[in-house]
C-alpha cells in the first residue's frame, strides 16, 4: 500500500512538472509576441519592451522556463493582471471563495441524489424507468449548461419571480463578517438569518443548474455500475441467507459498485470547472469564472494562464485522492 | 478493408445485385449491425435526428427563408410568428435562418475537431502501440500530461494564446483532445498485435506497414467510430462554450454558442434570441449521444444483454 501511494505521488509530481511545460509552451512559445500578450491589448511599444525586459522574455527559452517554474514554486508567482494591476494570485484569493461555495453546493446536491437515482433505477431496471433514466441522462449531458441556466432564469426569475437572477446577496443585505469567505457559512457563524436566507436564495439557481448537469452523469454511472454487481453470486447468496434487500444493497452492492462511481465523480470535476465558468457569467456570480471571462474579454493574458495551471493542478490532486479512496473501498488492491 | 461501418453503408445503398457482387463475409456483420440498430429505440432516435440535421446542413442555403446576415432594424425583436418562426434578433435578423445556417458551422467544426484530434491521436496511438519501448513510453507520458488538464481549460488557454477565433478554437480543442484517441488506438493495437492473423501475416513475410494497414487498422475501426460519434457531440458543446465566453466565433457568424452569448442580454424581453440556438445545440448533441450510446451497446457484447430495456422496447 505504501508502495502504491509513493508510486502515485511520483507520477503526480511528474505530471505536475509536465503541466508547467505545457502552460509554459502555451504562454511563452505559442504567442507571436509573449511580451505583447502579457502587456495587454492596449500597451504601447515602449511598455511592451519594458515588459520584455522585466519578464526576461529576451532571454533564451530554457532560462525563461527556469525562471517561470521558479516563480511558481518559490514565490507562488502566477503573473500579474493587466486589467486591475494586481498579482494574479491575490485576485484568485479574492474570487475563489465564491466559486468554491458554488461548486460545493452543486456537489452536495448532485452526488447524493445521483447515487440514489442511479441505485433506484438499477434495482428497478424495468423498461420504462430504464429508458427514462437514459433519456434524462442523455439530455442532461446534451443541453449546454448555459442554456439550462437561461431556461431556469426564464422560469424562476422572469415568470414565477421566486428567485433572483444573479449576484450572491441582495443589494439591501449587509454581508456577514468574512471568516471563510463562503457566505452561507459566514452568515450561519454570525447567526445572521437574514443574510443566510438571501445567500441561499441567490445560490439556488446557479447551484441547481450545475447540479442538474452533474446529476445526469452520476446517475448514469451509478446505474450501470450497480447493474454489474446486482446479479453476482455473492449478492444472490446474501439474499438467500435471509438478509433484507436494503441491507444487501448497503453492505454488498453499494460498496462494490462505488469505486467506478467515485472515479467518475473525480473526473466530473473537470466538467464542473468548465460549467462553473459559464454559470458564473450568466448569474453574475463574482467567482473565478467571471474573473476569467473578464480577463478573456480584456485580453488579459496572465490571469488566464494562472487559472489554467492552478485549476488543472487542483483537478489532478482531486483525482489523486480519488485513486487513494480505492484503497478504502477495496482492501484487496495492491500495486 | 472490410470494415464493419463501410459495409453497413453499402448495405444501405446497395440493391440485391450489389449485394450479390460483394463477398459474403463483408456484408454479413454489416447487415447484422443494421438489424440491431433498427431494433434499438435510442439508435432510431439518433439516426432520424442525425439524418435530419445532416440534411438541414447540406440544404441550408435553400432552407433559410431569409438571409442569415440581412439586417433590417425595423424588424427588430419580432416574437416567433408565421413570418419568423423563431422570431428576429436585435438587428432584425431572422433567428430561424441563422439557426439553420449555424447547423453547417457546428457540423463543420465538429468534423474538423475530430479530424485533427483523431488524426494526431490515431497516428501517435498506433506508433505507440506498435513500436513499444521508449517511443511508447514518451507518447504515453505526454498523453498523461495532456489528459491531466481539464480540456475546456487547456483549450481556453491555447485559444487565448493564439487569439480568439473559430479556427483557433478548433485547433485548440484538437490539441487538447488527441490523447483520448492515442490511448484508445494504442490499446487496440496492443491487443491486435498478438492475434493469430497478424502473426500469420508476419510469418508469410508481410512488412510492418502491410500488417498495420491490412490487418490491424481495419479491426481498430469499430471502437474508434463509437468514440468519434460520442465525441462529436462533445466537440460541438465545447466549441459552443468557447464561443460563449468570447473565444470562438466572431460576429456576424451565426454560430450557435455565440448567438446564445449575444442573445443572453435580451433574455427577459426577447427569450427567443438566445433560446432557439441553444436548443439547436442540445438537439444536435443529443443526436450524436443517442447514436454513440447505441453503437457502443451494440458493439460491446458484454453490454448488449445488461438492462436491455431499450432494445426490447
Q: CB distance A138–B290 less than 8 Å?
A: yes
Q: Is the pLDDT of residue A182 over 80?
A: yes
If contacts are CB pairs under 8 Å, which of residues 155-194 in chain B contact chain A?
Answer: 156-158, 160-162, 164
Chain B neighbors of A11, CB-CB under 8 A: 144
* Closest-CA residue of chain A to B138: A18
* Residue A255: per-residue pLDDT: 83
pLDDT per residue over B3-20, tens digit each? 333 333 333 333 444 444
B289: pLDDT confidence band, cut at 50, 70 and 90? confident
If contacts are CB pairs under 8 Å, which of residues 58-117 in chain A contact chain B?
Answer: none
CA A178 → CA A14, A94, A105, A122, A190, distances in Å?
Answer: 37, 12, 18, 44, 9
The ipTM, to two decimals, is: 0.87
Q: Give the integer Cα–Cα distance in Å for B283 and B297.
A: 21
Which of the pair, A125 or A183, is modelled with greater confidence?
A183
Chain B neighbors of A305, CB-CB under 8 A: 157, 160
Give A193 to chain B, closest Cα distance, Å: 30
* Residue A331: per-residue pLDDT: 66
Which of the pair, A131 or A109, is modelled with greater confidence?
A109
Contact A149, A205 (CB under 8 A): yes
CA A292 → CA A27, A32, A50, A274, B52, distances in Å?
Answer: 16, 22, 25, 11, 37
3-state SS of chain A is CHHHHHHHHHHHHHHHHHHHHHHHHHHHHCCCCHHHHHHCCCCCHHHHHHHHHHCCCCCCHHHHHHHHHHHHHHHCCCCEECCCCEEHHHHHHHHHHHHHHHHHHHHHHHHHHHHHHHHHHHHCCCHHHHHHHHHHHHHHHHCCHHHHHHHHHHHHHHHCCCCCCCCCCCCCCCCCCCCCCCHHHHHHHCCCHHHHHHHHHHHHHHHHHHHHHHHHHHHHHHHHHHHHHHCCHHHHHHHHCCCCHHHHHHHHHHHHHHHHHHHHHHHHHHHHHHHHHHHHHHCCCCCHHHHHHHHHHCCCHHHHHHHHHHHHHHHHHHHHHHHHHHHHHCCCCCC
Share of chain A above pLDDT 70, in %: 96
B27: pLDDT confidence band, cut at 50, 70 and 90? low
If contacts are CB pairs under 8 Å, which of residues 195-214 in chain A contact chain B?
Answer: none
Peptide bond into B99 cis (omega under 30): no
* Residue B307: per-residue pLDDT: 40
Length of chain A: 335
**Average pLDDT of the residues in A87-102:** 91
**Average pLDDT of the residues in B145-171:** 91
* Residue A76: per-residue pLDDT: 79
* Residue B24: per-residue pLDDT: 46
If contacts are CB pairs under 8 Å, which of residues 2-21 in chain A contact chain B?
Answer: 11, 14-15, 18-19, 21
**Average pLDDT of the residues in A269-294:** 90
Q: Is the pLDDT of residue B311 over 60?
A: no
Q: Give the integer Cα–Cα distance in Å for A92 and A90.
A: 5
* Residue B28: per-residue pLDDT: 64
Tell me what the pLDDT averaged over chain B comes to: 82
* Residue B6: per-residue pLDDT: 36
* B290 touches A: beta carbon within 8 Å: yes
pLDDT per residue over B230-265, tens digit each? 899 999 999 999 999 889 888 888 999 999 998 988
* Residue B16: per-residue pLDDT: 43
Residue of B236, B309, B312 for testing the chain A interface, max A β-carbons within 10 Å: B309
B306: pLDDT confidence band, cut at 50, 70 and 90? very low
Chain A neighbors of B164, CB-CB under 8 A: 296
- Residues A289-311 as b or e (16 or more Cβ within 10 Å = b): bbbbbbbbebbbbbbbbbbbbbb
Which of the pair, B202 or A21, is modelled with greater confidence?
A21
B146: pLDDT confidence band, cut at 50, 70 and 90? very high
Share of chain B above pLDDT 70, in %: 84
Residue listed under C-alpha cell 464493419: B4
Q: Give the integer Cα–Cα distance in Å for B96 and B82.
A: 11
Amino acid at each position: 500500500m505504501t508502495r502504491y501511494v509513493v508510486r502515485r505521488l511520483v507520477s503526480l509530481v511528474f505530471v505536475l512538472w509536465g503541466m508547467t511545460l505545457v502552460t509554459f509552451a502555451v504562454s511563452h512559445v505559442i504567442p507571436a509576441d509573449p511580451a505583447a500578450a502579457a502587456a495587454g491589448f492596449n500597451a504601447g511599444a515602449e511598455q511592451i519592451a519594458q515588459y520584455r525586459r522585466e519578464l526576461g522574455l529576451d532571454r533564451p527559452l530554457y532560462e525563461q522556463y527556469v525562471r517561470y517554474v521558479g516563480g511558481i514554486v518559490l514565490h507562488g508567482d502566477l503573473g500579474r493582471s493587466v486589467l486591475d494591476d494586481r498579482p494574479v494570485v491575490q485576485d484568485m484569493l479574492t474570487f475563489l471563495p465564491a466559486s468554491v461555495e458554488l461548486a460545493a453546493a452543486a456537489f452536495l446536491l448532485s452526488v447524493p441524489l445521483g447515487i440514489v437515482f442511479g441505485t433506484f433505477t438499477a434495482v428497478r431496471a424495468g423498461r420504462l424507468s430504464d429508458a427514462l433514466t437514459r433519456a434524462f441522462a442523455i439530455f442532461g449531458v446534451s443541453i449546454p449548461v448555459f442554456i439550462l441556466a437561461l431556461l431556469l432564469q426564464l422560469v424562476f426569475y422572469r415568470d414565477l419571480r421566486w428567485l433572483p437572477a444573479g449576484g450572491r446577496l441582495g443589494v439591501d443585505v449587509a454581508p456577514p463578517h468574512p471568516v471563510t469567505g463562503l457566505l452561507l457559512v459566514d452568515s450561519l457563524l454570525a447567526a445572521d438569518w437574514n443574510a443566510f436566507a438571501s445567500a441561499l436564495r441567490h445560490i439556488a439557481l446557479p447551484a441547481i443548474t450545475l447540479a442538474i448537469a452533474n446529476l445526469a452523469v452520476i446517475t448514469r454511472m451509478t446505474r450501470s455500475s450497480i447493474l454489474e454487481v446486482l446479479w453476482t453470486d455473492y449478492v444472490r447468496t446474501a439474499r438467500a441467507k435471509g438478509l433484507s434487500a436494503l441491507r444487501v444493497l448497503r453492505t454488498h452492492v453499494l460498496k462494490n459498485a462505488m469505486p467506478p462511481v467515485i472515479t467518475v465523480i473525480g473526473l466530473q470535476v473537470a466538467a464542473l470547472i468548465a460549467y462553473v465558468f459559464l454559470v458564473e457569467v450568466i448569474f453574475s456570480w463574482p467567482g473565478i469564472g467571471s474573473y476569467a471571462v473578464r480577463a478573456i474579454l480584456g485580453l488579459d493574458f496572465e490571469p488566464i494562464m494562472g487559472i489554467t495551471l492552478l485549476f488543472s493542478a487542483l483537478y489532478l490532486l482531486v483525482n489523486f485522492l480519488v485513486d487513494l479512496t480505492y484503497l478504502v473501498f477495496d482492501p484487496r488492491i495492491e500495486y | 478493408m472490410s470494415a464493419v461501418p463501410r459495409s453497413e453503408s453499402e448495405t444501405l445503398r446497395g440493391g440485391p445485385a450489389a449485394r450479390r457482387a460483394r463477398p459474403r463475409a463483408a456484408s454479413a456483420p454489416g447487415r447484422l449491425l443494421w438489424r440491431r440498430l433498427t431494433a434499438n429505440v435510442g439508435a432510431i432516435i439518433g439516426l432520424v435526428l442525425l439524418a435530419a440535421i445532416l440534411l438541414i446542413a447540406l440544404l441550408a442555403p435553400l432552407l433559410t427563408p431569409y438571409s442569415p446576415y440581412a439586417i433590417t432594424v425595423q424588424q427588430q425583436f419580432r416574437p416567433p410568428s408565421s413570418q419568423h418562426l423563431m422570431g428576429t434578433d436585435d438587428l432584425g435578423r431572422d433567428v430561424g435562418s441563422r439557426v439553420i445556417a449555424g447547423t453547417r458551422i457546428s457540423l463543420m467544426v465538429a468534423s474538423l475537431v475530430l479530424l485533427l484530434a483523431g488524426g494526431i491521436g490515431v497516428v501517435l496511438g498506433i506508433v505507440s502501440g506498435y513500436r513499444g519501448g521508449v517511443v511508447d513510453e514518451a507518447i504515453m507520458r505526454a498523453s498523461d500530461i495532456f489528459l491531466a488538464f481539464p480540456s475546456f481549460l487547456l483549450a481556453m488557454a491555447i485559444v487565448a494564446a493564439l487569439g480568439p477565433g473559430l479556427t483557433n478554437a478548433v485547433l485548440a480543442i484538437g490539441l487538447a483532445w488527441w490523447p483520448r484517441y492515442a490511448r484508445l488506438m494504442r490499446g487496440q493495437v496492443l491487443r491486435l498485435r498478438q492475434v493469430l492473423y497478424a502473426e500469420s501475416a508476419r510469418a508469410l513475410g508481410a512488412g510492418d506497414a502491410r500488417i498495420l494497414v491490412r490487418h490491424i487498422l481495419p479491426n481498430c475501426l469499430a471502437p474508434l467510430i463509437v468514440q468519434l460519434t460520442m465525441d462529436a457531440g462533445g466537440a460541438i458543446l465545447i466549441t459552443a462554450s468557447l464561443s460563449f465566453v468570447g473565444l470562438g466565433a466572431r460576429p456576424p457568424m451565426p454560430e450557435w454558442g455565440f448567438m446564445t452569448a449575444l442573445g443572453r442580454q435580451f433574455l427577459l424581453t426577447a427569450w427567443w434570441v438566445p433560446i432557439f440556438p441553444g436548443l439547436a445545440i442540445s438537439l444536435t448533441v443529443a443526436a450524436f449521444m443517442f447514436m454513440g450510446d447505441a453503437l457502443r451497446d451494440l458493439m460491446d457484447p458484454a453490454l448488449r444483454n445488461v438492462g436491455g430495456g431499450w432494445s426490447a422496447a
